[in-house]
Structure 1
Amino acid sequence: MLKIPRPLARAPIMLYRLGLGGLLGRRFVLLEHRGRRSGRIRQVVLETISVAPDVVHVVSGYGEESQWLRNVRADPRVRVTCGWARSRAARAHVLPAAEGVAVLEDYRRRHPLAARMLGPALDLPALAAAEPLPVTVGDRLLVVRLELRRAQS
C-alpha cells in the first residue's frame, strides 16, 4: 500500500487555515476531531467519496491504522469544512461493511477512472475490477458517514 509522506498529507491543512479550502473543491474535506489520548483538536484533510447537503462520506484508506479513525471512534463529535462553506459540527459513524460497500459501489459508478487508480494505490485490486465489490472490501476500506448538523442561520 502506498503511504503518503506526512508533510505532503498535511500540506492541504494550511489551505483551510488560510480560508482557501475551496480551492480543493468538494472532493476534499477538513475533518477536525479530538485526540483520544490528548484531548487536543486534530485536523486531517480527506478525500470525499460522496457529498450531499447534510451527509459526507469519507474512507479510511489505511483502515484501522488511521489515527483520525481511532479518534472518531472514541469521540464521534467532529467539525467538517467542505469547499468554501463554513465549518459545521457533525457526527461520525463508521458504516458496517455491507453499507460501506454500497457507498463504494456508487463511488465507482460515478468516478470509474478515480476508482481504477485508487485500487492499486490502496492494494485493493477489487476496487479497480469490473465485478461487484465483495463485502470483505468493506472490512478493509472503512467508510465513515459524517452527518452534518444544520447550519445556524
Structure 2
Amino acid sequence: MYSDLQKRYVKEIKTNQEQSEAIKNLTIKIHELEHNLQEQRQRIEQLERKKVSWKTSGISGKRSRTPGGEVTSRRDISKEKESCCSKYLELLLKEIKKLKKENEKLSTERRALKNELAGLDEDFFEEVEDLKHAVQESVKLNNQYEKCLKQISVMYGLPFTTHL
C-alpha cells in the first residue's frame, strides 16, 4: 500500500514537472508566434504604405513582363503578397489560439495536481513511514512463525504447506 502510494506520489510530481515544462514551452512558443504575428502585421503595414505610395506616384500603372512573357502590374504583385501574408497571419492566429487552449488546459490540470499534493502534509508522510515500518516488522514476524511451523511439522511428521 505504501509503495503504491509512494509510486503515485512520485508519478504525480513527475507529471506536475512535465506539465510545468510543457506550459513553459507552450508559453515560449506563443510569445514567439505573437512576435512573428506582430512582425507580419508590420510588414503588411509597410506593404500597404508602399501600395499607397505607388498609387500616388503613378507607378502602380506600370506593367512588366515575367520571364514567362506574362504581363503583370505592380498592383497584381502587391495583391499576391498581401494575400500570402494574410493567409500566413490566419495560420499564425489559429496556431496561437490552439496553443493558448492547450496552455489553459495544462495550467488547469497543473493547479488541480498542486491542490491535490497540498493535502498531503508532513504528518501524512510520517504516518506512511510508520505503516511501512509496521509492515516490515510483521513480515519478519511472519517469517519467524513460518520457521516455527516448519520445525513443529518436522517434529510431529506432518506435511508442511506454505498456504494453509
Q: TM-score, normalised by structure 2?
A: 0.18
Task: Name the larger-Rg structure.
Answer: 2
Structure 1 or 2: larger helix share? 2
Structure 1 or 2: larger strand share? 1
